[in-house]
Amino acid sequence: MSFACCVPVIECVYCLACVRWVWKKFLYTAGRESENWGLAIASEFEPVPRFCRYIIAVYEDDIRNPIWTPPGGYGIHPDWVIVKKNHEDTQGRVSPYLIYVDHENADIVVAIRGLNLAKESDFLVLLDDKLGQAEFDGGYVHNGLLKAAQWVWEAESQILRELVEKYPDYTLTFAGHSLGAGVVTLLTMLAVKNREKLGFLERKRIRCFAIAPARCVSLNLAVRYADIINSIVLQDDFLPRTTVALEHAFKSLFCFPCLMCIMCLKDTFTLEEKMLKDPRRLYAPGRLYHIIVRKPFSFANIRPIVRTAIPVDGRFEHIVLSCNMTSDHAIIRILTESQRTIDSMLERHQIAESMNFPVQQRMERQASLKEEHKAALQRAVALDVPQAYSPSAYGTFRDIEEGQDFEKPGESSLTISKKRRDSWDDLAGRLFLHR
């Protein structure tokens, strides 16, 4: 009897807890994740609208006779397009893409479009993933996106090598949107791990712009490659925040929105320490650029800003319940807002006549980005992120891109120093023996 009397009380407490959770969820706004991040500058964000245009150009069947031209055009010279493949050419293994030599900006660009809702093959790529299914470079990655990236690499690596050798001063840039953003992320990692197939191209000449990416790499890889991979997220975009187990998304008895809500509820009640300790959990890759264009609970646009960081904890962990969470994912909207953001930056910094910062100021900014990357690596180690290694205390930050060893768990700086001293002693001994 006494137990029966407690049931209404338990129900009331449960209902109040649910109402409190819903209320807090609706109060959660997109600016909260990045409120403590630093502001990006025009010189580092300037390429984003240009790469958005290149990605949209992939949707055209004939670039010489475009149909979907955005305001301002594509900025593409048709004669500079080296490769352009559609779904039939790729046999459904990957979204359509193009390879473009941008002589105006000294850049070799691989642009991959996003998911086509009318193509089952694109869904199969996105859904081909199980928790911890694919391992790569000491971490975990999205299995379907990895296979798509490997297909592109095998098909185009020879052409890319010829272009890199033909234009030795050009950078190699991979750009993609949504599904394509995940593919170019893993394609960039493949290029870095196989630089000998590109004529030993320097790591600093490889870069990636993943626009509205899916979660595709484990946290240790997301931080380790943050010096060359950049993720662009427009305010409330749902995909970089979605942790749904995709292989079950369309097999579930529930509809997809209901499944997302259930997974969102599960993630909300999962402790952040537990999330960080799971090496199989996937995240948005690299350095994050968060474009803020609206105030919370307001439809009116504000003067846009871009915040950037390499976060380790609190890395886009919660979905924002907003009427713009899907529209902010559209590539044409990202193009519009990123162009508006650049115009605002140019006006704010009064650099309309030149996109280049003074040499000294640009060098200082590059140095600060390197220091931020180094701090992120150390932060990952401090939080005991699985398979996260910090750069050695010896040598410069540039040694990381030259293949410097990381301090692995259980191996101190003293041990590494002893190994180097022993190697030097062995070398000296061999030299004297030959005399």
DSSP track, 24-40: HHHH--GGGTTTTSEEP
64 Cβ neighbours under 8 A, 6+ residues apart: 78
Residue appearing with tokens 């979660």: 215
pLDDT of residue 415: 44
> Model confidence over 257-266: pLDDT tens digits?
565 566 656 6
- Strands 287-294 and 390-391: what pairing? unpaired
With a pLDDT cut of 70, the percent of the chain lying above it is 71
Tokens describing residue 364: 């200082």
Cα angle 239, 227, 370 (rounded to 5 degrees) comes to 130
Tokens describing residue 384: 């005991």
Q: Is residue 390 part of a domain?
A: no
CA distance 109 to 173: 5
Nearest to 275 by CA among 236, 331, 228, 316: 316
Nearest to 222 by CA among 112, 310, 147: 310
Nearest to 163 by CA among 209, 98, 211, 208: 98
Tokens describing residue 165: 């050798």
- Strands 206-211 and 171-177: what pairing? parallel
pLDDT of residue 434: 44
CA distance 213 to 177: 6
- The CATH number of whichever domain residue 348 belongs to comes to 3.40.50.1820
Q: Is residue 410 part of a domain?
A: no
Q: Is residue 191 part of a domain?
A: yes
Residue pair 51/231 in contact by the 8 Å Cβ criterion: no
CA torsion sign for 111, 116, 120, 124 is positive
In degrees rounded to 5, what are phi and psi of residue 231?
-105, 130
pLDDT of residue 275: 75
Query: What angle do the packed helices 179-193 and 143-166 form, to 10 degrees?
Result: 60
pLDDT of residue 268: 59
Strand (E) or helix (H) holding 291: strand 287-294
For 293, the 3-state DSSP assignment is strand
Residue-range definition of the domain harbouring residue 244: 38-357
Q: Is residue 180 part of a domain?
A: yes
- Rounded to the nearest 10 degrees, how much is the dihedral formed by the CA atoms of 333, 369, 108, 111? -30
Q: Is residue 348 part of a domain?
A: yes
CA distance 360 to 345: 20
pLDDT of residue 388: 86
Q: Is residue 375 part of a domain?
A: no
> Model confidence over 110-132: pLDDT tens digits?
999 999 888 888 888 988 888 88
Q: What is the largest CA-CA distance in the chain?
A: 98
Tell me the whole-structure pTM to 2 decimals.
Answer: 0.82
Q: In this structure, how many other beta carbons lie within 10 angstroms of the beta carbon of residue 345?
A: 20
Q: Is residue 172 part of a domain?
A: yes
Domain count, the chain: 1
Strand (E) or helix (H) holding 147: helix 143-166
Q: Is residue 171 part of a domain?
A: yes
pLDDT of residue 131: 83
For 65, the 3-state DSSP assignment is coil
Regions of the chain short of the pLDDT cut 50: 1, 246, 249-251, 253-254, 352, 393-424, 427-428, 430-435
Residue appearing with tokens 């899907």: 326
pLDDT of residue 402: 46
How long, in residues, is the chain?
A: 435
